[in-house]
A and B are shown apart, each in its own frame.
Chain A
């Protein structure tokens, strides 16, 4: 069956996350977004794991659902048009900080588990190695390769996915602390990795440029630190609705179980361009080269973003596809489309209201962004928003690219256009 999965999220036990990032709210927001399988995140954190065990019950193989008594109170907040089954999968992200090949490396890695038993085995190992109680995403002075070994030894069905592989500071291939080759990071165990996460600042098109990534399926997740950020990116599967279904879709090269990924426009990600956030210096990689890698404001080396880093390591022409490529859709979060249409910020009251109305009358966010007819959107939300979604689907958006931790900003309409469309509307 077809379903959408977001397998990189956090809990309120991780640093800098929302207080209500709990299972109930993940259940709620998964439905609003149109996600059927959501990661638990942080599942080696002792208290969080306890909470997970208490509130979830087994559903399909390797998938779990919120017990009725916890789900019921949330159901009232889900419009009928959005309701759907939500399943949880046991997932965790580990921050590995260590020295390798004479450099400090900071690599974030995801582990996905087929069972509580598998998760607890890894939990016990990591507990012996370091501190897993302070942070839902534990920081370990452990080599990524050794973490992979621990995961594989605990259960061969565990899936190990290097997280947002291009993020400058915290990833396998990032410009600041990463490696040039996946093999340098994961050494002899590299073949046991079946998928890599592209992160918000890169899309499949960019990742196709590296032949060394050909063996891996590209996956996309939200890395949400609050429930509303769920599904910023996600995976569209068409496979058995179970852990094994997902596992096979990633592992077996003939398996077409991963249909497509739902992506950010990479320019909107926080590290697409180069620059310095504190200096408000946003540099296109060409400008960076012209400036010899230095910030025009403070003169210090800029944070090199994903676009430049991909270019540096690329060995395939742009547009050429690798053998195992999967299609993808570039989306803009619905609140941002609404905000653009109305000329207000995406978190304003006005946007909230329209967003709520649209979910009630049309369906979940992914349905609205990808599948709903423009006519239908028009009926519910008016011409400008419908036009916004149409433009987004055609890729007709302008984006001031993100850099050094600053998100990119989306522009779908100019002020003039917005008024013109409004005026047309006023004529009727």
Chain B
């Protein structure tokens, strides 16, 4: 999207600001990473020989991409530590383990290493560890920690908590701060209280923090991330300025407007939106996009509709339906709230022979191995094969596609409220917003009159988020009376009864 060296005025201001801490509020498609890497590159000449820059990313994959882009700007790998909080903390722990109660050869627990604790208990413990600076341990917690330590293990949450202990040692902390005077954090809307404490401890009195993110895209509250920490940045880091990037280089203007209409209805709770005039996004893509609303009778029909649309936009996949080809499979993503929605969809795509890939999991920094956490592990991505991407809305974070389908735009799915799973209303809205803002040119919002989920037939009306989008922006597309194409179309084979 961006020419490697071009910066718009707001980006340039964010890159050039040298007055101390900065919080860059950057909506979708405003060149967040672009601005961040330029700001990092701009800081390089200020480094003393024994100093490094610390650049914190949300996932290892993002770290790899950032390294590549920094390298393209001529930044040496040695000058910047790029990685997740976990990766950075693990490096510190390996060096300064003496400052903790851990043995030198501690290992990172893998799932299944600790037996006898069920999933719910483990989740509860993890949530405690990521939301409470000081834990008041109950019996289950104590038993779990005992089991870990007896096996020389720490878990992923411990990596950060133990690092906080390291940083309590003033001498060690001072040395680390001297090395990393400039700290950059990406995706700041999705940090938790522990990471916040770490950042404060790392920055200290003399360091400079730059955080970048979009509070409207905070979607990990259920894991203990707190969007209020984003808004608290200027309190946590005295003198911090807030800078806005508001020029959108991703989405067509009508899609941008539609997504704004959804997010601006954000509730009046504690997270009340602080609208400042310069925060209004400005479209920098000028061609009109397409926003299609489609209601199918049932989930199967919805899936057939999606598969059929894909077939159409790839230009027909056989000679019989050949037409103008505009898209290839890699241009297209299908997003859904729950993985359980995928099965019916996959069947429909299989039926038409549409190649697809599933990214089932939201990126969880906790799920990487020791080596991975250190950022030396690169995912074996299949770059050579184009496929339609099937993603949960969570997993779609940070990605963009010319064409996006969001299926299951129904009440109780968006916002989620079924089978004992209930999402926070405001977070669900942001999640839907994240999904919408993945689209560059075409956005399809589809729903079904009834669907099978978890062995039940569910029937819900449209998602309330849909009604936040003004009618004028929507094109309603009816279901074509399109029979599920028969596997063997009855082509007359001219089989003659000759003899």
Contact = CB atoms under 8 A, between A and B. Distances in A.
B353 A15 contact: yes
B352 interface: yes
A226 B353 contact: no
Contacts of A15: 318, 353, 485, 487, 489
Contacts of B485: 15
A359 B498 contact: yes
Interface string B215-258: 00000000000000000000000000000000000000000000
Interface string B347-363: 00011111110000000
Given A16-B489, A170-B319, A352 B353 contact: no
Contact of B498 (A21, A106, A130, A356): A356
B338 to A, nearest CB: 23
B2 interface: no
A106 B499 contact: no
Give the residue among B382, B385, B387 with the most A Cβ atoms within 10 A.
B385
A134 B352 CA distance: 7
A359 to B, nearest CB: 7
A243 interface: no
A139 B353 contact: yes
A139 B385 contact: no
Contact of B386 (A32, A97, A133, A229): A97
B320 to A, nearest CB: 6
Contact of B328 (A18, A32, A98): A98
B491 A18 contact: yes
Given A15-B489, A130-B355, A104 B498 contact: no
A97 B314 contact: yes
Interface in B325-352: 325-331, 350-352
Contacts of A19: 488, 490, 493
A318 B355 CA distance: 42
Interface in A123-159: 129-131, 133-135, 138-143, 146
B499 A79 contact: yes
A104 B319 contact: no
A134 B314 contact: no
B384 to A, nearest CB: 5
Nearest to A15: B318
A17 B386 contact: no
B488 A141 contact: no
Contact of B350 (A17, A105, A134): A134
B494 interface: yes
Given A19-B493, A130-B385, A360-B499, A139 B325 contact: no
B495 A20 contact: yes
A97 B498 CA distance: 41
Interface centre among A18, A105, A360 (most CB of B within 10 A): A18
Given A106-B325, A131-B350, A134-B351, A352 B317 contact: no
Interface in B456-499: 485, 487-499
A98 B386 CA distance: 6
A177 B329 contact: no
Given A104-B315, A130-B385, A405-B319, A141 B329 contact: yes
A402 interface: no
Given A104-B326, A106-B315, A133 B350 contact: yes
Contacts of B327: 104
A99 interface: yes
B316 interface: yes
Interface of B, helix, strand, loop or mixed by DSSP: loop
Nearest to A224: B493
Contacts of A134: 350-353
A282 interface: no
Contacts of A17: 488, 491
A76 B491 CA distance: 25
A301 to B, nearest CB: 8
A48 to B, nearest CB: 13
B236 to A, nearest CB: 45
B493 A20 contact: yes
A97 B356 CA distance: 13
Given A20-B495, A139-B355, A97 B384 contact: no
B264 to A, nearest CB: 35
Contacts of A410: none
Nearest to A18: B493
B322 interface: yes
Contacts of A130: 355, 385, 387
Which among A76, A79, A139 has the greatest number of chain B C-beta atoms within 10 A? A139
Looking at B351, B387, B496, the one whose CB has the most chain A CB atoms below 10 A away is: B496
A99 B325 contact: no
A104 B493 contact: no
B496 A352 contact: yes
B494 A104 contact: no
B268 to A, nearest CB: 45
B219 to A, nearest CB: 29
B355 A131 contact: yes
A228 interface: yes
Contacts of A76: 499
A11 B331 CA distance: 31
A302 to B, nearest CB: 12
A17 B329 CA distance: 25
A356 B322 contact: no
A227 B498 CA distance: 14
B496 A355 contact: yes
A111 B351 CA distance: 24
A249 to B, nearest CB: 29
Contacts of A142: 384-386
Interface in A60-82: 76-77, 79
A16 B350 contact: no
Nearest to B386: A141
B382 to A, nearest CB: 7
B428 to A, nearest CB: 32
Contacts of B498: 32, 77, 352, 355-356, 359
B491 A16 contact: yes
A347 interface: yes
A272 interface: no
Interface string A321-365: 000000000000000000000000001000010011001100000
A99 B353 contact: no
A366 interface: no
B86 to A, nearest CB: 31
Interface string A100-132: 000011100000000000000000000001110
B353 A131 contact: yes
Contacts of B384: 142-143, 146
Interface in B361-411: 382, 384-387
B259 to A, nearest CB: 26
A160 interface: no
Contacts of B322: 168-170, 176, 405
Contact of A228 (B316, B382, B495): B495
Contact of A169 (B325, B330, B353, B382): B325
A411 B492 CA distance: 23
Nearest to A76: B499
A106 B326 CA distance: 11
A104 B328 contact: yes
B354 A99 contact: no
A140 B355 contact: yes
A12 interface: yes
Interface of B: 314-320, 322, 324-331, 350-356, 382, 384-387, 485, 487-499
Given A106-B325, A347-B492, 10 more contacts: A19-B490, A32-B498, A104-B326, A104-B328, A138-B353, A140-B355, A141-B355, A167-B319, A177-B315, A352-B496
5 contacts: A18-B495, A139-B353, A169-B315, A170-B322, A176-B324
Interface of A: 12, 15-21, 25, 32, 76-77, 79, 95, 97-99, 104-106, 129-131, 133-135, 138-143, 146, 167-170, 176-177, 225-229, 347, 352, 355-356, 359-360, 405
CB-CB nearest 4 A-B residue pairs: A141-B386, A18-B493, A226-B493, A356-B498
